[in-house]
Structure 1
Amino acid sequence: MPAHSPDLNDRVALVTGGSRGIGRAVCLSLASAGAAVAVNYRQRESEAAQIVEQIENAGGRAIAVQADVSVASDVKAMIGEVESRLGVVDVLVNNAGTGTIVDIDILTEAEFDRTLAVNLKSAFLCTQAVLPGMRAQRWGRIVNLSSAAARGAGLVGVHYNASKAGLEGLTRGYAARLAREGITVNAVAPGPIDTEMAAPLKAANVAERLPVGRLGEADEVAQVVLMVVGNGFVTGQTIPVNGGVSFI
């Protein structure tokens, strides 16, 4: 484990949408710091199982847990399973999200509602579900995956802008109310990242317009997640990871 990594031995982490992309990188980073990791997935069971196997082969502990985190009953069952198999959740990373590119002229109410449910409501449901355990031990770390689109025009659509801006508001609201209980709540806001969802970004030559001249890597986002998990004095903040495309 690198010297700058937090010591998460005896800690339990839950990463929503952990089966691919940024979520996968976050799962592996948390495991490398010693955490037992619950890898949440909605449909990609085989990919979640591969991450669990990779963590176990490296000597760590991990489980895969299925849930649609935009559905309250699924979240309740998921938290119950994680607590029974690994223990109380110490670190929650709200990473699950959706981002279908839709122009304002064809954006439907159904797509708007679905985007807010997956990107914003899920973070509320999961946070509420883990708070009793965190409050009881007076320690917790919650990290919400936002986006540069929360404060900029973005490429996906206004539904996505709204969901991520709401997520940052949720972050600040919880942070203000939980700081005295030893629980920090922060957001990490990636810009264009080279993941499975990046095909439209490559097609639009977005990398050429970034100051660093390339797309970001999922591991670079995971490094920042690990950083805020390890720092008890940082709370209520949004940390941009965007290659210099904007400054907060």
Structure 2
Amino acid sequence: MSDLEAILQGKLVLITGCTGGIGQASARAFARRGCSVAVHYNSTSSREKASQLVAELTKNPGVRAAAFQADLSNYDSTRVLHSQVVRELGHPDILFSNHGVTGPKIGPEGDVGDVTPEIFEDIWRTNAGTHFLLAQLCIPHMQERKWGRVIFTSSVAAGNGGVIGPHYASSKAALHGLLHWLSLRYCKEGITTNAVAPALIEDTAMLSNPSEAIKSKIPIGRLGKPDEIASIVILLATNGYMTNKVIHADGGWTIGGF
């Protein structure tokens, strides 16, 4: 473990969407570095997976972990999640806000009329609104400690439109404006805010059965792996000089920043 990674020892990270591929890989990476983990899962069908992950994480010396169910398309449930985590494990030092939904997949050649305003708003609430609320709830403790990390999972869709639809792409782009404001406001208090923007990662719900046409979009010639995204999350959690950034992990799909 490097000196930078040693700063995670004894910290608590709240990972939303923790039973997905990126969430699980990140939870394991944090736990290996001595970080306790609040494991969030959405549906009751993921309860067993969450329990198994908690059992695995707590095999690391000094690591505490517990599972918490919450529907993060709902603001009240989001508030309850935070209060339950605080009551059982303490205040998160690191927020890895990783949850999200795609909504209907109309594709890059779909019709904008296929997405109703109601669907658009629902996707935004889950993919941006409750991320904002969790940051709002977690930051006061980070201010008290003069140390904190806020990390969002975005998507290359925020910059290139993606393969799902305007509702998803725009909701992810909203996270970028949020992180820029949060970073500029709180970085002098020791709180960094960043995002990782993956493209087409295997072993995730979004890509349970990717087509060859989708795979062909990646110049590197393969899908990304959850562990590759987790390594970026650890970088963002450990590096106190990196803030206000969106890190693209997309196999060379996008050119430049956004």
Q: State if a TM-score over 0.5 links the two structures.
A: yes
3-state secondary structure, aligned to 2:142: helix
Q: Is the 8 A contact 2:4 2:239 kept in 1?
A: no
2:120 matched residue in structure 1 = 112
Q: Is the 8 A contact 2:101 2:127 kept in 1?
A: yes
Amino acid of the residue matched to residue 93 of structure 1?
Answer: F
* TM-score normalised according to structure 2 size: 0.91
Residues 185-243 of structure 1: per-residue CA shift (max 9 Å, x gap)? 0011001111232145x214322331210000011001001001100011110000000
Give the alignment partner of residue 74 of structure 1, picking from 64, 77, 82: 77
Residues 76-127 of structure 1: per-residue CA shift (max 9 Å, x gap)? 2222221222222100011000013133231112211111011000110100
Give the alignment partner of residue 226 of structure 2, picking from 218, 221, 240: 218
The answer to whether residue 201 in structure 2 is matched with residue 198 in structure 1 is no
The answer to whether residue 105 in structure 2 is matched with residue 88 in structure 1 is no
3-state secondary structure, aligned to 2:201: coil
> What is the root-mean-square deviation in Å for CA atoms of aligned residues?
1.6
Aligned residues: 247
Q: What does 1:133-212 correspond to in 2, within 5 Å?
A: 133-194=141-202, 195-199=204-208, 202-212=210-220
Unaligned runs of 5+ residues in structure 1 are none
3-state secondary structure, aligned to 1:175: helix
2:11 matched residue in structure 1 = 11
1:46 matched residue in structure 2 = 48
Amino acid of the residue matched to residue 47 of structure 2?
Answer: E
Q: Is the 8 A contact 2:36 2:64 kept in 1?
A: yes
In structure 2, how many angstroms separate the alpha carbons of the residues matched to 1:79 and 1:232? 24
* TM-score normalised according to structure 1 size: 0.94
Q: Is the 8 A contact 1:69 1:125 kept in 2?
A: no
Amino acid of the residue matched to residue 226 of structure 2?
Answer: A
Amino acid of the residue matched to residue 129 of structure 1?
Answer: L
